Every structure is written in structure tokens, then in C-alpha cells.
Amino acid sequence: MSDYYEIVLDGDAKVLRGFVAGYLSASGLSPEVFVAREFHVEHDSLAHQLAEWIGLVADRTHFIVPEAIHAKIEEGTGGIGTHLGIKVVEQRRIAEARFGFSWKTHSREVAEELRGRFDALPAGVALDDYESSEEIHDGETGATGGYAPAHPYEAKATGLAHGTPGSVIRWAAELRQHEFIEVQDIRLKYAD
């Protein structure tokens, strides 16, 4: 299992992205870099989130990267990065990533597809507190007292996904594309 790091860089966001992409390309490394904001990854520090929100640290970008990339970015910011106004503000090893989720449907076919999706987890991802339920209301006509529709079938589930940061972040991004799945922001648990 590869270790992952959160590395926080200070500098213009466009310059940072270009620097990271160019530097990794020149190094011949796989460009598996997650920009925390784009992948709905929360920071653990409320004070830091507040500082970003009110604009005190507007030029700060949080990246989630594998260990090999972390070392290269750190190396690069000490060289040409200083000429571009880029500096490492913080770096921390990540023990795991996690997110809560839920899904709900009134279609038996969709429920079957969703159950299959959560039964066949990607490598590096596990589920905690996964609870799935199903309600079948035979004989209902589709309306209750003429006010609200009653569905003859409803399936739903909730749970918590956790595991290797790269696997969890990729899977959360995939799940966000499904119209019936609600995915909460990803939280990081740090090793230190």
C-alpha cells in the first residue's frame, strides 16, 4: 500500500497546477494528483477553513498525492518553485480517507444495481455501518388519502466508506456521478 500525503502549497492557483503537472510530467511519474477542493476533501482545521473562506490564505492549494509524487513536489518547490513564488506551507501523511453516503430509490432495478455497486468495492475501500433496507407496499394505488403519492417499493441504504486515500477519493468521485447516491465530503485521518 502506497502512503499518501496532503501537501499544502502557497502561490497562484494556476501557476501551482501548471508547476505540479509540468514537474510530474518531466519526472516521468504517474500524475495521480487530487486537488482537495475539486474532489470535495475537507481540511481538518476549522481555523484554516475559516481563513480560506474569508480570504486570508486565498493562494493556498491542498493536494493529495502518493508518497513518490510528494517527494518530487517537495524537491521541485525548493528549486524552480522558489522563482515562481511557490512554497510548501504544510505536509502531512494521511492514514486514511473516509466519507459517508446514502442512497434511496423507488425502482427495484436501480436498487439491485446499487446493492451490487456497494457489494463489489474497489481495492483499498471498506464499508462501516452499512445498512440497507427495503419496503414493499403491495396493493397500494400510488396515492395516500389523495395528498401524497405512496410508492409501492422503496429501497435505501446508508454507510461510511473508508480506506486508502487514492482509492477512496476515486470511488467517491465515481459515486457522485450516480443520480441516486448522496456522497458527503471526504474527511482525512492523519498519521501524525
Average pLDDT, stretch 107-112?
95
pLDDT band at residue 43 using 50, 70 and 90 as cut-offs: confident
Residue identified by cell 453516503 is 101
Which pLDDT value is given to residue 192? 75
Residues 184, 189, 191: CA angle, nearest 5 degrees: 165
pTM attached to this predicted model: 0.83
Counting every residue, how long is the chain?
Answer: 192
Domain spanning 4-95, CATH architecture: 2-Layer Sandwich (3.30)
Q: Are 62 and 37 in contact (CB under 8 A)?
A: yes
Helix (H, G, I), strand (E, B) or coil at 79: coil
If one compares 34 and 14, the residue with the highest pLDDT of the two is: 34
Residue 115 scores a pLDDT above 90: yes
Residue 121 DSSP symbol: P
Domain borders along the chain are 4-95, 97-190
pLDDT at 109: 95
Of residues 55 and 80, more confidently modeled: 80
**Average pLDDT of the chain to the nearest whole number:** 83
Poorest-confidence range of 45-54, 61-70, 131-140? 45-54
Q: Is the pLDDT of residue 122 over 90?
A: yes
Question: What's the pLDDT at 45?
Answer: 57
CA distance 63 to 77: 14
How confident is the model over 40-69, as a mean pLDDT?
71
